[in-house]
Structure 1
Amino acid sequence: MVEIYFKELVQRNLIQIFKWRKDGSPKTCRIGVLQDDGNFMSKAQEIGLFHIQKMSENETPQHGVRRVTDFVDPEEYISQIQNLRSYLAFDIQKNDMPATEIDRFLNKVTGQNFGLLRVVDLERVYKPKLPDNMGKLFLLLRYLGLRWTFLDALPHSVGELPYLETLDVKHTYISSLPSSIWKMKHLRHLCLNEIRLDMSLQNHGTSLTHLQTLWGLFVDKKTPVKNGLYRLINLRKLGLTCHLDSFQELDEWIARLASLQSLRIRSKNQNGQPWKLNLKPLSSLENLTNLYLLGSLPELHDRYEFPPKLTVLTLSVSKLEKDPMPILAQLPSLTVLRLLADSYTGKELKCPPKGFIKLQILKLWMLKDLETWEVGKEALKELQEVEIRCCDKLKELPAPLFILENIKKIVLTNMPQKFVDEIPAKGLIFPKTLQF
């Protein structure tokens, strides 16, 4: 039902899709009519949906302002927003200068009644000064976004926000979370910056056990898995970087995540370089659709090493010596395949006949030893987009690519000029889009 409503809004141009995910689904949307539809804007302000603060006008809104998207000095309208529900700051200051106007706004907020505030998003605001008593000031806060703020610490009071559901500190300098984090009973989405979670030291047995998203986790021998992370079994999205010699406990924990839909694992050594990734087969994760693996893998032997519903697969620095295509071609739901740098070290790729029945997007990046690529009869029938990047030894494109009915785009990035020149020289006809 939600998808039906969403498509209708897109068709009516009330919503524009701004960014797409790798699997072709919408990732970021924006309201597309604010700039050119005066009727929409006036109606939105009339019913109190939002207030548009203009630099040249000081009119008072008809309703108490509940949602503010800030492009100007928020002090100009601080008296009008006692019932504020959400605050999104768009800071455009450069040269790592503190956002003084936003800091003044936060200071004023701390002295007034903003207990109804549910959303605070300060993404890219340079080191905003968060109040020390956030739990009392923002009683109903559900979302706190601090991505790209360059903060190096969180106030202890963050853990005292009783109803917080989303905490995002990705792309910051924050290296640890305050101990008060274990008080958060309602947290659902936690985005970190490669931070350890030592759950063995806290006494709150139900803390964080309702997490659905855990992104940016760091796991090493100092991180308790069996008696710590093992409690988190409701995750739907997990992204972690690990430095481990043994993956047994990590394997056992991941195998318990029956609701997991998206998984990213990056294995690195102490110097931050890609390292071995000796995971057990992930076929038990029946709901997993998106998988990203960075690190050297054992050779693939059977398609059943992968989840049955897998739609997006990304391999990087896997160092596979045996051609993975015959196995990957059997995955029944695979729509996006990305073989990135050194994921395959062999000379030949062969897409078997009638293989990849649903694949739509294929990316081959930095496969430095790849020389030949063959496409069997009736393979890749649904393919729409191909990108080949920095495959210096690849001799030519397989001819079947140029006659596939659904293909819309072939992108060649940083490929040798000889490779590019060979395409028209062979008389291949490509009626759609060929980008260099």
Structure 2
Amino acid sequence: MTTFTRRQWPKVLIHLRYLGLKGCSIPQDIFKKFSFYNLQTIDLNGSVLDTEEETLDLCDLVIPTLKHVYGSLFFQLPLNWDKHTNLQTIVDVLIHIESVVELGFCTNLRTLVISIDTDLDNERVIIEWQNIKSVLIRTEHLVYLSIGTMRLLPFGGTKDLPCHGKIQKLILNGVWERNICVPSVEMFPTNLTKLKLTRSKLQEDPMPILERLQSLRILYLDYSSYMGTELICLTGGFRNLEILKLLRLPNLHHWDIKDGAMPILRHLKIYDCGKLNVLPELQKVRTLQELTVYYPSHELWEGMQMEGEDVHKIKHIPSVRISRGYLP
């Protein structure tokens, strides 16, 4: 991590468009020292304050030209959101629960990445979710939405996303209600090109629903997103899927790919699915260009070695990587 002293900061920042302080130790009062008349981007990703304070001192800062804010998960960024209506990007900005509704003033948002406070119980999470929904109602131009919580994520599908017609990328990180399944394809925006589910703990195979998302190109089923034992990809499903990643699905032991499923899949990653002992019939997916298997079960490892029972399924793939340790 880089540390700057106050003497090293330039004195004139009037013409500055981009302020990048990623991974830095920065003065808590940095925004009190300079004028940022033309600043468009603030990037504080991974930064920390050089004091023990938990909030950056913005001193009623107003930058009308500001469009993109990448915050830090190590301190609060209490920006006057109602004075920054030109904002298009808000990523990893820690905001007090009482202030979430103020994001509704940023009606030009295209990208919103927000986390619900991990210290809240499920009852308070539901309250904050209502506040987030009131923001989404006003962000009609939203294209990329990511919402995460270590607790319950009371996501209600497109009925919670009035702007869902334009959303193309959706990341949901949090536990859905007990025994919840994906009820219908209408739960997701129709123009979705990327979907990532993490810790959803779905009990029923989501593939028969997700494979009907006609625009979906990238699908990540990450850490404990699915708790069932079997995945089935049906004929004609995932017509436009190009990238599929399965990560830490703890109970998955059988995966069936029917003829004609995923007809243009190019990249497949299977990470730490320890009960998956046999590969699906990947020879049916002739478009595959890359297969990565990380932390396989002992049986799958043996099956993918020379003369193993899975070798005939992957001979057509130009790039195959399998590792019991960390991949680069």
Q: Structure 2 length normalisation: TM-score?
A: 0.83
2:326 maps to: none
Counterpart for residue 89 of structure 2: 213
Q: Give the alignment partner of residue 106 of structure 2, picking from 232, 238, 252.
A: 232
Whole-angstrom CA distance in 1 between matches of 2:292 and 2:20: 36
Q: Distance in 2 between matches of 1:347 and 1:212?
A: 41
1:264/1:206 CA distance change after superposition, 3 Å: closer
* Contact persistence 1:185–1:206 (CA under 8 A): no
| Alpha-carbon distance in 2 for matches of 1:383, 1:426 | 19
3-state SS of 2:92 partner: strand
Q: Alignment length, in residue pairs? A: 298
Unmatched 5+ residue regions in structure 1? 1-123, 268-273
Deviation at 1:328, TM superposition (A): 0.7
Secondary structure of 1:153's match? coil
1:252 counterpart residue number: 134
Give the alignment partner of residue 277 of structure 1, picking from 147, 150, 153: 153
Q: How does 1:338-377 map onto structure 2 within 5 Å?
A: 338-377=220-259
Indicate if the aligned counterparts of 1:146 and 1:170 stay in contact, CA closer than 8 A.
yes
Quick one: structure 1 residues 434 and 371, their matched pair in 2 at CA, closer, same or farther if it must change by over 3 Å?
A: same
Q: 1:422 aligns with which of 303, 308, 313?
A: 303
Query: Structure 2: how far apart are the matches of 1:388 and 1:375?
Result: 15
The one-letter code of the counterpart of 1:296 is V
Counterpart amino acid of residue 146 in structure 1: L
Q: How many Å apart are 1:156 and its aligned residue? A: 3.4
- Which residue of 172, 181, 194 maps to 1:293? 172
> Which residue is equivalent to 1:411?
292
Q: Distance in 1 between matches of 2:7 and 2:105?
A: 31
Q: Which residue of 2 aligns with 1:312?
A: 194
1:213-237 per-residue CA deviation (whole Å, 9 max, x = no partner) reads 111122453x3233x2221111111
Shift of 1:158: 5.7
Aligned CA RMSD, in angstroms, stands at 2.2
Paired residue secondary structure (1:367): coil
Please give the secondary structure, in 2, of the residue aligned with 1:428. Answer: helix
Residue 4 (structure 2) pairs with residue 127 (structure 1)? yes
Give, as a single letter, the amino acid of the residue that structure 2 aligns with 1:166. Answer: T
User: After superposition, what is the alpha-carbon deviation per residue over 1:288-311, rounded to whole angstroms, capped at 9, x for unaligned?
Assistant: 111111111243211111111111
Alpha-carbon distance change, 354 to 164 in structure 1, aligned in 2, over 3 angstroms:
same
1:431 is aligned to: 316
2:41 and 2:66 in contact (8 A); partners too: yes
Instruction: Select between 169-178 and 413-422 the one with higher mean Cα deviation.
Output: 169-178
Tell me the equivalent position of 2:48: 173
**What amino acid sits opposite 1:145 in the alignment?**
G
When Rg is computed on C-alpha atoms for both structures, the one with the higher figure is 1
User: Quick one: which of 153, 156, 159 aligns to 2:28?
Assistant: 153
Q: Secondary structure at the match of 2:256?
A: strand
Match in the other structure for 1:90: none
Unaligned runs of 5+ in 2: 118-124, 323-328
- What one-letter code is carried by the residue in structure 1 that aligns with 2:278? E
Does the residue aligned with 2:208 lie in a helix, a strand or coil? helix
Structure possessing the higher relative contact order (Cα contacts under 8 Å, 6 or more residues apart)? 2
- TM-score, structure 1 normalization: 0.64
Give the CA deviation at 1:181.
5.2
Identity %: 26
Aligned match of 2:13: 138
